[in-house]
Amino acid sequence: MAKRGRKKGPNSSRASQSRQQRTFPASTFEEALEFAQKIYSIAGGQPVKRLTLFDQLGKSPESGPSRQIIINAGRYGLTKGGVAADNIGLTEEGLAAVDEQASSRERARARISLAIERIEPFEKLYSKFVGNKLPAKAVLIDAAKEIGLDSKHAAEAVDTFIVNLRFVGLLKTLSGAERIVSADMSLDELPATSRSKTPPELAPQRNNLITTEQAQFETTCFYIAPIGADGSEARKHSDLFLGSLVEPALEEFGLRVLRADSIDTPGVITHQIIEYIVRSRLVIADLSFHNPNVFYELALRHAMKLPIVQLIRASEKLPFDVNQMRTIPIDTSDIYSLVPKIESYRAEIASHVRRALDANHIVETPISIYFPNMKVSV
């Protein structure tokens, strides 16, 4: 009698198909590198017991995010040892990428190799556009499809590619535009023996008002920001980030961005803001100016353990209470620093949003870390 296989539902089929089609790591190189750096700091470059490692990190070794970071670090070639291995160690190049005793040039060389050159689709995109101005995202997506990437993952691949380029120093502002430079050019700027760190690397007026009746929380991204009075520096800043960075970055996700000043409904505005904070599919918080209202609203979202992305001006320091959360720094020191990087900032925001909205993503905030059993319901 023929054996009956267990019938797979449509969701498992789509998930399987998605895993098979992604030919690049499901995170940026910077995120995977942080995991390698923790292995280096805990074990001094030697292999470490997987259970011991995650115990030191305060995370469950069997959780979805923990397993995913092991997979991503392995796919980048930073680590050896899979999700079921007894030990996890650094590869030779992985060690070179995090070794504090190595020169900045040696670390940068290893990072370029791992983040770009060893990832086939990234290497092909890099070879195609090196020496040129960073193309528009649509052009890069078309190129990604031409080299064989599935259309469902092309945008994600491009976002990750751009973020990786900038992190390892292959995306530089030259002649007023961001350009993809050769590895030799990037490395030549670094001293062979220094121990300096490798490089980490206008708005339209908004007059449209959105009513509560129109708002559908599942398709809404609520934008927490220091709004300020009309004409103030805070208002100009918020309009710039919203119109030039946040809204363009969210177009591919089909999310409408709503800021508090766009709510046009009778009633207590604080109640309406809180409702959007706790019910919207996504929240993006701009921590620039260290506005107290922003941090109050941010704490509410953290308590909900729902998807969130944080931004801040690069010139400002993250307060201690929230510096454990990954936050995107935006260089606004002058127009000449900001404008050439707008496209790569959009890609970085999109990359963070994509990760935050992933069905398997577990939101970790300072509240969830220290009070994992705390639950807030609406």
- According to DSSP, residue 210 is labeled B
- Residue 345 neighbours by CB distance under 10 Å: 25
The candidate with the shortest Cα–Cα distance to 73, out of 108, 29, 109, is 29
Which CATH number is 23-96 given?
1.10.10
Report the SS3 class of residue 144. helix
Reduced to 3 states (helix: H, G, I; strand: E, B; else coil), residue 334 is coil
Domain 217-370 has CATH 3.40.50.450: yes
Amino acid at 244: S
* pLDDT for 370: 81
Query: Which contacts qualify for 182-190: CB closer than 8 Å, 24 or more apart?
Result: 182/130, 182/131, 183/109, 183/112, 183/117, 186/108, 186/112, 187/105, 187/108, 187/109, 187/112, 190/103, 190/104, 190/105, 190/108
330 secondary structure, DSSP code: E
Q: Which of 254, 262, 258, 261 is nearest to 276 (CA)?
A: 258
Q: How far apart are CA 259 and CA 22, in angstroms?
A: 34
What confidence score (pLDDT) does residue 100 get? 86
pTM of the model: 0.79
The span from the CA of 45 to the CA of 47, in Å, is 7
Q: DSSP readout, 230-299?
A: TTSHHHHHHHHHIIIIIHHHHGGGTPEEEEGGGB--SS-HHHHHHHHHHHSSEEEEE-GGG-HHHHHHHH
pLDDT at residue number 15: 45
Q: What Rg do the C-alpha atoms of the chain give, in angstroms?
A: 22
pLDDT of the residue at 210:
55
What gap in Å lies between CA 274 and CA 124, rounded to an integer?
46
181-230 pLDDT, tens digit each = 999 999 988 876 644 443 433 444 444 555 544 447 888 999 999 998 98
Return the domain boundaries, the chain.
23-96, 102-188, 217-370
> With a cut of 70, which residues of the chain have pLDDT below it?
1-21, 192-215, 264-268
Residue closest to 158 by CA, chosen among 146, 176, 174, 173: 146
- Give the pLDDT score at 193: 62
**pLDDT at position 132:** 93
